[in-house]
Amino acid sequence: MELIGTCYEGTESYPTEEPQPVEPPPDYRYNQQDRIRFITSVIKNNQNGRGVSIETVISEAAKIGMNREHAISYIEHLKQYGSAYEPIKGEIKCAF
């Protein structure tokens, strides 16, 4: 083994800049409860007499960085626990 070089603080080879912090992807800024609340609020705020299109909910969720699969799973979660229902195929409505 051979010693290639030693990096001492204050020498030319020592990195002087701090590494830039990496910002997490937008979806990771929110926890699961926040994302479910967001989906619920999108449904409540956009539903007309029948409900709101599931594609509209998914596109609104994409604006905060949520991918399609997560948005669909949260919609299914709301339907499973009775917080939302699908009066017409492709539309979702809040139960309360």
Per residue in 1-58, pLDDT (tens digit) is: 555 555 555 566 655 566 676 665 555 677 889 999 999 999 999 987 888 999 999 9
The class of domain 26-94 in CATH terms is: mainly alpha
What pTM was estimated for this model as a whole? 0.68
In whole angstroms, what separates CA 14 from the centre of its chain? Answer: 39
SS3 53: strand
- Residue 92 near residue 86 (C-beta atoms within 8 A): yes
Domain boundaries along the sequence of the chain: 26-94
pLDDT, tens digit (0-9, with 9 covering 90-100), for 55-87: 999 999 999 889 899 999 999 999 999 999 999
